[in-house]
Structure 1
Amino acid sequence: MWEDRFQTPDYVFGTEPAAFLQDHADLLGPKGATALSVADGEGRNSVFMAEKGLDVTALEYAPSAIAKARKLAKARQVTVDFREVDVLSHNWPETYDLVAGIFIQFVGPDARPILFGGMKQSVKPGGLILLHGYTPKQLEYGTGGPPCAENMYTEDMLHEAFEDWDILECRAYERHIEEGEGHKGQSALIDLVARKPT
């Protein structure tokens, strides 16, 4: 499905980073810190992190998305280590200062512990997870995301999933976003920033 979706000359979600990542740009440092972008898509978020001076690895399943991500990185004159990976069968062998999962709600509640577990494993002690997605109210707007309420996040669910972490931010809110044709219009969003215990 994702390979078919990304096989277009256009960038489905645009070439600018998610508004969430721009809002939290102060967390993208110091220069030379390591970062992992999970289910990175066409590269807009990993490339932005690289522009901020991070040493970025990006995991993505669809070869067509990776091809566009490489093209974007070259145009922006940054280097990203793009890897073709199925995140649900990945063995998560490395650790990073920051792990970002932005609009990764193709995963339902059964597989979510696998994905979250791998992401947690990939954060160095004292490092950060940045997670951004939709709340169930997004189904009322229909401006992006899967048509499945069970794939969405709530504040309670994220607090439970990261209960042993230092949660710096966990909030649901509404906002108009313009991120390509894939995320366009009034949206019901949720952000999590959590630090791994040392």
Structure 2
Amino acid sequence: MSQFWDDRYNRETYLFGEEPNAFLKAQAHRLKAGMRVLCIADGEGRNGVWLARQGLDVHATDSSAVAQDKARALAAKHGVALEIEQADLLEWPWPENAYDVIVGIFIQFFAPDERSRMFEGVKKALRPGGLFILEGYGPKQLEYRTGGPSQPENLYTEELLREAFSDFIIEELRSHDARIQEGEGHDGLSALVDLVARKP
């Protein structure tokens, strides 16, 4: 997996751009300086760097060393620091009650059983009252083909996420189409599913 992503990120430009994901940016009102946040599969750092610029204490993981070198460069460009860790999320020892916020933006490279394991890790790692902020692609994305996985089982639906986080407080959950421009990797009309869930 890491070789695949190393190859994709091995370019001068940022594959998904340097600006944060729009849905994450829209959650700024939920975030406070000093919060400890985990960005899973943060790639080249666009989301982690934006969070650090808001004054959050950011721990960013990814499987690609190439992407993380670019994340360090982006953080330096903006004068912020990230704690960056190369990690395979299926093998990573998720800490318990360690984060106020966990962010997952377009983390749809896991099969359903692996995704369930990752979600359990998220639940373990959040502190009580902590937030999980997630955006991904829904089934209609297979028609749009403007980014994301080609495997239907890796896509999200509201029903899937509502069931997966039935033990959390769902603060926001919606499916919608929107035009996004996130570098060359995500560009065009997209079928999106957004989730904000709070650990009781």
> Aligning the two structures, in what range does the TM-score lie when normalised by the shorter sequence?
over 0.9
Indicate the residue corresponding to 2:192 in structure 1: 189
Indicate the residue corresponding to 1:126 in structure 2: 129
Partner of 2:107, secondary structure, is coil
Q: Unmatched 5+ residue regions in structure 2?
A: none
Aligned residues: 196
Partner of 2:111, secondary structure, is coil
Q: Which runs of 4+ in 1 moved over 6 A?
A: none
| Shift in Å, 1:34 | 0.5
Identical positions, percent: 52
TM-score, normalised with respect to structure 2: 0.96
Quick one: which of 39, 63, 66 aligns to 1:64? 66
Indicate the residue corresponding to 1:109 in structure 2: 112
Could you report, residue by residue, the CA deviation over 1:137-165 in whole angstroms, capped at 9, with x for unpaired residues? 10000000011111000000000000010
TM-score, normalised with respect to structure 1: 0.97
In structure 2, give the amino acid aligned to 1:141. Y
Q: Does 1:10 align with 2:13?
A: yes
Equivalent positions of 1:31-46 (< 5 A) are: 31-46=33-48
Q: Give the distance between the partners of 1:93 and 1:123, measured in 2 at CA.
A: 9
Indicate the residue corresponding to 2:80 in structure 1: 78
CA RMSD of aligned residues (A): 0.7
| Shift in Å, 1:173 | 0.3
Could you report, residue by residue, the CA deviation over 1:16-73 in whole angstroms, capped at 9, with x for unpaired residues? 00111111111221x1111000000000000000001100000110000000000000
Q: Give the distance between the partners of 1:195 and 1:33, measured in 2 at CA.
A: 15
Could you report, residue by residue, the CA deviation over 1:93-127 in whole angstroms, capped at 9, with x for unpaired residues? 25100000100001121211111111111100011
Indicate the residue corresponding to 1:48 in structure 2: 50
Indicate the residue corresponding to 2:165 in structure 1: 162
Indicate the residue corresponding to 2:150 in structure 1: 147
In structure 2, give the amino acid aligned to 1:37. C
Quick one: which of 176, 182, 188 aligns to 1:179? 182
